[in-house]
Amino acid sequence: MTEQLRLMAVHAHPDDESSKGAATMAKYVSEGVDVLVVTCTGGERGDILNPKLQGDTYIQEHIHEVRKKEMDEAREILGVKQEWLGFVDSGLPEGDPLPPLPEGCFALEDVDKAAGELVKQIRSFRPQVITTYDENGGYPHPDHIMTHKISMVAFDGAADAEKYPESEFGPVFTPRKLYYNQGFNRPRTEALHQAMLDRGLESPYGEWLKRWDEFERVERTLTTHVPCAEFYEIRDKALIAHATQIDPDGGWFRVPMDVQKEVWPTEEYELAKSLVDTSLPEDDLFAGIRDNA
């Protein structure tokens, strides 16, 4: 093929790119694929989740700037490009009843208008493949759900010059495939949980599986398993770069690396839209594209 392969990963906040599909992106970068992360919000309303940094007043007062620097570091580690859509973090409402979302936040934007900003990125970068979240957002954060909504509109809208005129949004382009990130799936969780128990180790997934049953989470169709175990260390390094969000001694890293690589050496996706012929299951996000680009 002669056309450059390009992958766009659309995420809600800085750090999402490192916890969802990061090893896949690093793998494709190593193969010469052009990879762009589009981050919808700045993570301005994110809490400081790393207990080692909680109470740091500078970080609390400058969280937007701090998270931007963390994103810069993670981007360099993964070897990807990155663009901000410029929307404001909605926060994760908590309580009963839930409080209203803050005025001007991403989740309250008009979907078609917000999608237009993503259309500009798609038409400029021209990715054959786009990854995003499913209709539940992967988990029900309002920004993740909104990311899904604008991704679906923008995937089609990038080719629609009537809805999004070229004079404002750039020359039309038709992406070929759209995937949902499904890395936090039950088969993977159960496999790693059992592997830890079999080795006489404490599993971090016991409570996860209990909550899975309690919330009756619907199982997704895993259409695509991308082999990328050799890039797990890069994934973890990028994740740790988001120091406000990730405790390097926390649950994310309690499964030994050799166990992860042996038991579950892939990252999973659900093919949501395809304009090319492909056979399922796949082991490549560019299946059906490489020979026809």
Q: Which residues are annotated as a binding site?
A: 13, 16, 144
Would you call 180 helix, strand, or coil by DSSP?
Answer: strand
Q: How many CA atoms lie within 13 A of 169 on its CB side?
A: 26
Rounded CA-CA distance 84/67 in Å is 12
Q: Could you tell me which of 83, 159, 147, 81 has the C-alpha nearest to residue 115?
A: 147
The amino acid occupying position 197 is L
Contact 180, 10 (CB under 8 A): no
| Coil/strand/helix, residue 109 | coil
Q: Specify the 3-state DSSP secondary structure of 22.
A: helix
Question: Residues comprising the binding site for Zn(2+)?
Answer: 13, 16, 144
